[in-house]
Amino acid sequence: MQLNRRRQRGFVGITGALLLLVLMMFGGLAIDVGYLQWQKRQAQLAADAAAVGAVQELRSGGGGIVTAGQNDAALNGFTNGVNNTTVTVTSPPVYGSLAGSNSAVEAIVTRTVPTLFMMLAGRNTATISARAVASNFSTGGSSSGCVVALNKTVQRALGIAGSNATYSACSWVSESSHATAFHMEGSGTLYMQNGAAVGVVGGYQLSGQTKVWDVVTNAAKNPVVISDPGDPLKDVVAPTSGGPVRATNANYDMNSKPAGNTLQPGTYCNGLRIGNTGGVTFTMAPGTYILAGGGMTFNSQAKISAIGVTIYNTTSAGWGCAGTHSFSPMTIDGQAQLTMSAPTSGSLKGMAIFQDRSIVDTRDNKVVGGATTVIDGALYFKGSPLKFSGNSSSTGYMFLVADTITINGNSTLGANYTTVGGSNPFLPPASGGLAE
């Protein structure tokens, strides 16, 4: 009996020791992953600084963009040729939305770092890498921004209201000639990443405690005056055929579900409305959805997935509807949960929501789903205002073009065009503030 107890105690001791070893290995792995993520963030800061420093040298007409970029990377702890570090600075960039642009520079920072615990599994080092591109945003120049207010005359054509924090990986443009073409009120901050900037044809006003903050230089920056770049989406061809008429006055919710909880592309006469789906996700199958009058409303706890989808909002004229239905704006409100991405190929590549260009309407289009609204693609409302507080995904991009634009909630706008070939599908290389 005593012997059995000793054996049991020995077994428990061995098992406990093994369990402790496993826990230590998992803990060590977590430490290594955290350490590498921290190194990656530091490398990104160095790459951002290198790109901005190099483009400033380019702007001044100097030829030492490599030296300027490497010096700024060194100031951020990444010195070329030291501690297994390489800092490469080139102009023009070799890929991305500014590939081939002589007004842009690319900085790539790599470093091989030792691991702390992964060496127990035979992994002694890991290589981290970061890339940044900056372009010459000069007074009087054109702009390649991806948030563009098209109205030429009104005050506050583009602006932010409230105490929200907005993060943008690309530049903003207000084409209004008004003295307050761009306006911020409240206490919000617009965080501009990758050397991006705000360009205004007219003037700007930053009221209260608001500020535009450059995360690369870690300092406030003012908007700059630019020439009017025009409508960046003017050449996108609008759809002319919507396929079969799917429904008239389509209303779906938990008590009225589409077959298989899936909507099909086609023409929706008198619009589309999705309410509370009861926790179930309704899927919009890939393709083009024509809202032939009636607009679109997603609200009241609707859960919707729309991957590879374009929504075209127009009137019923010419779309085969039995009756006549006038245009209505679209609303995605704060309770709706929408995950949407635009097509990655075809004539509507990159276009998520597209309003008929011929329609001029002063009613707001509202994409105000907050953190639960994630759209990767372009939202285009040439003749109507947009109120926005959505996001792009962490690996996606956002492109907002409207008559006027108001950001009224926390938003994150990305500029990662990987899903559409690695470059902005709408803008050719141009001088301006867009930096990847």
pLDDT, tens digit (0-9, with 9 covering 90-100), for 262-297: 999 999 999 999 999 999 999 999 999 999 999 999
H/E stretch holding 314 reads: strand 309-314
Cβ 305 vs Cβ 280: under 8 Å: no
Number of folded domains that form the chain: 1
Say what the pLDDT of residue 137 is.
47
Judge whether 239 lies within some domain: no
Judge whether 93 lies within some domain: yes
Residue 103 is given by DSSP the state: T
Segment 125-142, tens digit of pLDDT? 888 898 877 665 433 333
* pTM across the whole model: 0.69
Judge whether 126 lies within some domain: yes
Which percentage of the chain shows pLDDT scores above 90?
Answer: 49
Largest Cα–Cα distance in the chain? 95
C-alpha closest to that of 371 among 394, 350, 348: 394
Q: Which of 192-196, 383-387, 410-414 has the lowest mean pLDDT?
A: 192-196
Task: Return the amino acid letter for 182.
Answer: F
Q: What are phi and psi of 54, to 5 degrees?
A: -70, -40
pLDDT at 309 over 80: yes
Say what the pLDDT of residue 142 is.
36
The average pLDDT across 169-196 equals: 91
Judge whether 429 lies within some domain: no
Judge whether 293 lies within some domain: no
Judge whether 344 lies within some domain: no
What span, in angstroms and rounded, lies between the C-alpha atoms of 182 and 177?
10
Confidence band of 433 (pLDDT split at 50, 70, 90): very low
How does the average pLDDT of the chain come out, rounded? 84
Neighbouring CB atoms inside 10 A of 139's CB total 9
Which percentage of the chain shows pLDDT scores above 70?
Answer: 82
Taking the CA atoms of the chain, what radius of gyration do you get in angstroms? 26
What span, in angstroms and rounded, lies between the C-alpha atoms of 307 and 324?
30
The average pLDDT across 395-417 equals: 91
C-alpha closest to that of 165 among 188, 187, 147, 183: 188
Judge whether 435 lies within some domain: no
The average pLDDT across 34-58 equals: 79
51, two tokens: 């790109």
Q: How many residues does the chain have?
A: 436
Domain that holds residue 129: 2-135
Q: Do strands 204-206 and 182-186 pair parallel, antiparallel, or not at all (unpaired)?
A: parallel
Cβ 342 vs Cβ 224: under 8 Å: no
230, two tokens: 């025009």
Judge whether 302 lies within some domain: no
Segment 318-371, tens digit of pLDDT? 999 988 999 999 999 868 899 999 999 999 999 999 999 999 999 999 998 776
Segment 54-96, tens digit of pLDDT? 876 776 666 688 998 899 889 889 999 999 999 999 888 887 6
What span, in angstroms and rounded, lies between the C-alpha atoms of 118 and 112?
14
The average pLDDT across 25-44 equals: 71
For residue 332, give the 3-state DSSP assignment. Answer: strand
